[in-house]
Structures are given as structure tokens and as C-alpha cells.
Structure 1
């Protein structure tokens, strides 16, 4: 299953489960079975084992079982190890049995010396049935609360992931079009960076950072080719020679925006980025940092290409 369809399947299953729980539209056994399917995709080992307990019953030999006996309110006496060890479906069945028993109980219409005893027995039976229903319902409520918390976390996490992916994919498509239009050579080098980052070893990381630096240099050559001229920015005369890639990118930015604050931010970001990809070639850089540098490179290029032709 493709990553996207897998993510969609998880989101759909989580949404269905939330509706099942919140609308009380299916049995406990069905809920646990469906939640177990979700847990196989994304759940932790602890959650998967807990759901297994809710399907097959608890035990006194496993620490997760003991932990969730407490979380779900199953203990009658923790020290004596007495409690409701059965699965959720068994607790639901017991609730229905107690309700039926309660419905069948009637205060006897009798008189005489045994009347008070008979009434007391029925009253006690009603009280016991009501207490059992309350206790068993408490277990059910706690299990459903745990289940709801687990499913909600997955659902909202996947919703956020899906939204983030959608936003980035739209932006990426836009930036790729601009790069292809303005500097196609840059676009050709991006797959090389991604491929090396996927390898993850230090040599591949160093090569990917070298390519990142070349991407920035190629970008400069495409948007502002080298010349023998100079340009004045902030009172400084800057060379636009072939080896002055940052100057030429800053010149491109300078010609398109008026805001000195924004120009400064671009200049600082570019300088920091160029320095990091350059020094990272010779120093140990983690794969996570290298990915962040590549992403920063890509986003900076995209932001620069989105600048208007002439802001003056």
C-alpha cells in the first residue's frame, strides 16, 4: 500500500472509530477489534497488548495487565488480587444480565410476619444489582475513555499530517514550476541531494551538502549571471564576479524589494546557509541537520523566486 493510501486508511479508520465510540453505534467487541486493527498500523506495543487483554481477558502475571486493571477500575481488592479479569465484552454482558435481573425484581405484595423479610430481600437484591451495574458501567466507561484518547490522538495527528503534506505539496509544486522556468539546472540537481540523504552515511551526507552548495551557486548563475560590474547595496560596492554568488543573489533581491529589513533577513539567511553547507562538507553533520539544510535551501530559493519582477 502506498504511503498516501496508508495514511488515508488510518485517518478513515480512526474517524470511523471515533464516531462508533461517540455515537454508541456498535458493540464493545466490535470496537476493540476495530481498534486493534488501528493499533497494528500505528499503536505502541503497550496499546496493542492492552487491546489484546480487552479481547481475551486480563492476567496477574504481566505488568501491563496489572497496570490496566487499575486504569480501567477493575480491582475489587488489589492486595488480594480480586477483580474483574474478564474482557470488555464480558463486562458488557454482565451489565445486561444485571439490568434484566433488576427489571424482573418486584417488591412482594404480601403481609404477615414474613412480609418484612421478603421486602428486605428484594430491596437488597435490587441494591446489589444496581451496585453491580454501576461498577461494571464504570469499567466500560474507563475502557472507552482510554480507547477514545488513543484514537483521538491518532486521528488529529493524521489530520495535521495530511494538512501539512497538502500545504507543502502545493507549495513544492509551485516552487518546482518556478525553478524549472527560471533555473532548470537547479531542479536537475535536487534528486541527487535527496538520494544521498537517503543513504545516511557520512560520505553521502558530505556529498549532499556539496551538491547543496552547487545548487546555490547554479541558482545565482541562473537568476543573476556574473559580470564585471559592481552594485551598491547599503552603502557598499559589491562585486558581481563569477565567484561572488551571494553578492549576485543579494543583487537580484535588492532589485525586487524596497524593505531594508527584509533584504537584511534574506542576506543573513543566505550567508548562514551558505556557511553551513560549506563547512558541513568537512565537518561531521547529522543526517537530520543535513536534511534541514537542504530543506532550508529549497525554501529560500522558492521564496526568492516568488519575489515580484519589480517592486519599485
Structure 2
């Protein structure tokens, strides 16, 4: 199973376990520990590690607070034992209360004293039980909040991946047809950029520019006559790459807002690809320029298909 898919499934199951109270607090901590390891969530891993192994003499106050382990309001002392021992002590206190409630018939000269001591023991165990039960509840609540954050991040990431996969399926064929030899270089450039190779920056930007040129040649070959686009005359010769792309977008019947957005984005990308040098563009920026070029050209190439579907 894909690691992200497994993490998403585990996070969803864990949230249900907590909401339906199907697991003890220590079992929730163990299950959440696997999720934290799968997604590499540092905060969740640190918190759960402390709950599994116990708190040392000095630990981050935020986790002690999140777990409700302070003994009193001055925050000078806290309960450091592992959560599984907290649960065991809580169960011991509960059993002691049950046993004490089963007896209480006192007589004789010391009946009043014995009754008072009996009640005090019940109260003492109730206090212990309440304090330890609160820790268990706080640990579960804190774990739930962090697991919920992880779940929504994974869900959003899966949605992004699904949407991109759908777009990629629509784009790849048309881009391969339009891009010609420039497209042949994409995989090599992409691989070098993933590796963080600075020498790939110039090559990546050059490939992006050539790809834009190739798409313009494919969707709107150069002609001598100007093109009328909403009252504006556009020169669409060989050198007017962006004008030809703008003319194509207009010819598909795209809305004014969409045409304007695509025009601005193409202008910015083409300018960046044409002027970029090693000193001006980092590897990280080149990756995003490369990705944005792919997505935007894909949108341009699929506009004609959108227009046919809307007829």
C-alpha cells in the first residue's frame, strides 16, 4: 500500500477509535505512534514518545500542559510516569473505591472515627482517580487534535494528487503532440531539478521557453495578417509568440477573465524563462517555473476541447 494512503487510512481509523471510545488511552498512543512515524510528524512523535516512556526531569512544559500532568497551579511539580502506568494506577484507585463502598457498617466506641477514616480513604482514592483520569483524557484530546490535523493535510494532499493526475492525463497527449523535440528533454531536466543540480537551471528555463514556442506554433501558426481579439489588433507573426497564444485562447471562446489570467501568466513565465540565468534563478524556483509552464500550457491546449464540450 502507498505510504500516504496507508497513513490516511490509519488516521481516519484512529479518529473513529477516539470518537467511539473503542481504545484505551495507551492503545491510542501506540496506534498514533505508527501514524506519526509514517508521516514524519515531529511534534506528534515527541509527545507520544514522552507518553510511552515517561517524562524526564526536564521536559518541554508545553507537553506537560497538553497532557494535564501538572500537580498544582504553580507548575513546579508534575506526574512523570508513562501513560500505561497512569492507567494502571487509575484502575487501582477505582478498584479501591469500589471495595471501600462495599463496606461501611461501623459500631462500638470508635465507630465515628472509623467511619470518618473510611470516608477519607474513599475521597483520597477518588481524588487520585480523578487526577489520573484527567491525564488520560487530556492525552487523548491532544492526540486527537494533532491526528485530525494530519488527517486533513493528508486528505488535501490526496485531493491535490487526484486533481493533478486527472489534469496530467488530459495534458500529456496534447502536450506531446504540440511540444515536439522540446518535450523530449522534459524528463531529463525534471530529473536533474529533482536532484537539485544547479547546472539544470539554465537548461530547464531554455526548455520551458522552447516548449512555449512549440505550443504557439502548434495551436496558432504564424501568419502575416493581424488577428482581431475583442477590438484589439494582434500581430501574429513568427516572433509574436505570446500574441499567437493569446489569439488562440480568444478563438476558443474562453471568458474574458480566463483569457486575461492566461495572458498575464504566460507573459510572466516567458519573461522569466528568457531572462533567467544561474545567478537569478535558484533550483527551487526553476522547479516551480517548470511546473507552472507545464500546467499553463496544458490548460491552453485543452481549451479547444472545453469549447467543443460546451457547444
Query: TM class by shorter-chain length?
Result: 0.7 to 0.9
How big is the shift at 1:137?
0.5
Q: Secondary structure at the match of 2:71?
A: strand
CA distance in 2, matches of 1:63, 1:83: 10
1:7 aligns with 2:16: no
Tell me, yes or no, if structure 1 residue 130 matches structure 2 residue 126.
Answer: yes
Query: What residue number does 1:70 align with?
Result: 65
How much has 1:187 moved relative to structure 2? Answer: 4.0
Partner of 1:57: 54
More displaced 10-residue stretch of structure 1: 243-252 or 195-204: 195-204
User: How many pairs align?
Assistant: 307
Report the CA distance between 1:157 and its aligned residue.
Answer: 0.8
- The aligned residue for residue 195 of structure 1 is 191
SS in 2 for 1:29: helix
- 298-307 vs 230-239, which deviates more? 230-239
> For residue 210 of structure 2, what is the aligned residue in structure 1?
214
CA–CA separation in structure 1 for the residues paired with 2:75 and 2:287: 55
Task: Report deviation, 1:161.
Answer: 0.6
Question: Which residue is 2:261 aligned to?
Answer: 265
SS at match of 1:63: coil
1:25-40 → structure 2 map (5 Å cutoff) = 25-40=22-37
Q: Is the 8 A contact 1:212 1:277 kept in 2?
A: yes
Q: Which moved more, 1:186-195 or 1:90-99?
A: 186-195
Task: Indicate the residue corresponding to 1:114 in structure 2.
Answer: 110
Question: TM-score, length-normalised on structure 1?
Answer: 0.86
Secondary structure of the 2:303 match is coil
Query: Conserved in 2, the CA contact under 8 Å of 1:176 and 1:187?
Result: no
1:117-163 deviations in whole A, cap 9, x for unaligned? 12111111111111111111011111111211222111111111111
Q: Does the CA-based 8 Å contact 1:209-1:280 persist in structure 2?
A: yes
Greater relative CO (CA pairs within 8 A, separation 6+): 2
SS of the equivalent of 1:75 reads coil
Q: Secondary structure at the match of 2:304?
A: coil
Instruction: Indicate yes or no: 2:283 matched with 1:291.
Output: no
Q: Distance in 1 between matches of 2:114 and 2:36?
A: 52
**Structure 1 residues 122 and 5 mapped into 2: Cα distance closer, same or farther (>3 Å)?**
same
Superposition deviation, residue 6 in structure 1: 1.0
Whether the 8 Å CA contact 1:186–1:219 is kept in 2: the answer is: no
Normalised to the residue count of structure 2, the TM-score between the two structures is 0.86
44-53 or 283-292, which moves further after superposition? 44-53
Matches of 1:183 and 1:122 in 2, distance apart?
A: 87
The alignment's C-alpha RMSD in Å is 2.7
2:89 alignment partner in structure 1:
94
Q: Is contact 1:36-1:51 (8 Å) kept?
A: yes
For the residue of structure 2 that corresponds to 1:105, the secondary structure is: helix
Where does the alignment leave 5 or more consecutive residues of structure 1 unmatched? none
Is the CA contact (8 Å cut-off) linking 1:56 and 1:87 kept in structure 2?
yes
Query: In the TM superposition, what whole-angstrom CA distance separates every residue of 1:73-122 from its partner, at most 9, and x where no partner exists?
Result: 22325879644221111111111111111111145323343221121111
1:68/1:237 CA distance change after superposition, 3 Å: closer
CA contact (8 A) 1:202 1:285 kept: no
CA distance in structure 2 between the partners assigned to 1:190 and 1:307 by the alignment: 22
- After superposition, the Cα gap between the structure-2 partners of 1:70 and 1:260, relative to the gap in structure 1 and judged at 3 Å, is closer
For 2:75 and 2:16, the matched residues in 1 are separated by 39
